[in-house]
Copies of this chain bind each other. A is one copy, B any other.
Amino acid sequence: MKVSVLKENLAKALSITGRAISTRGSLEILSNVMLTTEAGRLKVSATNLEVGINYWIGGKIEEEGAITVPARLFNEVVNSISSSKINLELEELNLHIDSDKDKLLIKGISIDEFPLIPRLDKSVLVISSKILRETLSLINFAAAQDESRPVLSGVYLLAEGNKLTFASTDSYRLAEKNIKLPEKVKEKIEVIIPARALIELTHVLSDINEDINICINDNQILFASNELEFTSRLIEGQFPNYKQIIPETNETKAIVNKQEFINIIKIASLFAKESANSINLNIKSKGRIEVSATSSQIGESSSFIEAVVEGKDGNISFNSKYLIDVLNNIKDQKVVFEMGGKLNPGVIRPDTDKNYTYIIMPLRS
């Protein structure tokens, strides 16, 4: 291998593929990144066996070749080099990294030990990276973080006709987003993708400005563009039929400034630590939301913000974390909160997006 690349491009490739590097790995090879010359470009690859990432950068390829090197060290080295151009040259298992002012050598491991990242090539749908990233940022956080029920640790993807749906739930709250596809899918697609993988994908997509092709086989999903392949395993099982818990009509509706809402929820949450984050929302039809919390040990809080309220007064208790999670991810300045009695789930939506629904189960107060 004899290649010269721009530092900036190599650093980006290592940042993106770093998302699939095992940090507390059992297998030494999984903490390595693989470099391969391929059709005039340099391919950078990493996998933790759940997620695999290939990322291609341009460069001048003088000799073909492939090697794996420790990802963290190589990333730190590349980022520390101040020259804009980096030459890579392989001599047996030693990777020479040279720039104007640096002559460096990292000892590599043969690519024979590196796990294959599965390749899928039948694209079933196409979506812009921006829409996919924005959608996932509203969905990922609502999946379960533990794996006691594996399907709940995943994000549900359903494509049927020209409608694409993403949904997730940890059984305390639910997030759902519907997207209209420019073209109908040929056949119905229904899979569950590990949320942990999609959290990494969401980070990666912030660096990608191309359309993303989605390819699916029995147990793998691939998100691919000209420069990226992001592969994840799928979760087996049946996603719960969540449609039934989305309330149809609501008695109380309030439109509030999102940031003000976050602020008063945060104050109450400071007083809700011993009550499992339980805070109380009091929606007054005269035009305000009061948020309060009480702790026998540390004290109590009551704060309010102005709101545009329609319908009846409402009173309901929630885990403050589930409110903060969604409000931190909604980009609109205003959000809509709806409820229908203190025992029924509450609903939060961005003011301008009827295709996103976030449901929170109430707490008994």
Residues of A whose CB lies within 8 Å of any CB of B are 70, 73, 76-77, 80-82, 94, 101-107, 260, 263-264, 266-267, 270-271, 297-305
Contact = CB atoms under 8 A, between A and B. Distances in A.
A142 to B, nearest CB: 24
A298 B266 contact: no
B301 A260 contact: no
A300 B104 contact: yes
B267 A81 contact: yes
A63 to B, nearest CB: 20
Contacts of A301: 77, 102-105
User: Considering residues A270, A299, A301, A304, which has the most beta carbons from chain B within 10 angstroms of its beta carbon?
Assistant: A299
Contacts of A304: 101
Contacts of A94: 299
Given A70-B298, A77-B301, A101-B305, 16 more contacts: A73-B270, A73-B299, A77-B267, A102-B267, A103-B301, A103-B302, A104-B267, A104-B271, A104-B300, A104-B301, A104-B302, A104-B303, A105-B299, A105-B301, A106-B298, A107-B298
Copies, count: 2
10 contacts: A70-B298, A76-B270, A80-B270, A94-B299, A101-B305, A102-B302, A104-B299, A104-B303, A107-B298, A107-B299
Contacts of A106: 298-299
A318 to B, nearest CB: 18
A333 B76 CA distance: 24
A83 to B, nearest CB: 10
A282 to B, nearest CB: 13
Contacts of A302: 102-104
Contacts of A297: 107
Nearest to A294: B105
Contacts of A303: 101-104
In the A-B complex, the 8 residue pairs with the closest CB atoms: A106-B299, A102-B303, A105-B299, A80-B267, A104-B301, A103-B302, A105-B300, A80-B266
A107 B80 CA distance: 51
B77 A270 contact: yes
Contacts of A266: 80
A100 to B, nearest CB: 9
A27 to B, nearest CB: 17
A261 to B, nearest CB: 11
Contacts of A73: 270, 298-299
A102 B297 CA distance: 19
A13 to B, nearest CB: 19
User: Considering residues A267, A270, A297, A300, which has the most beta carbons from chain B within 10 angstroms of its beta carbon?
Assistant: A267
Nearest to A293: B104
A340 B82 CA distance: 30
A343 B94 CA distance: 33
A72 B303 CA distance: 20
Contacts of A298: 70, 73, 106-107
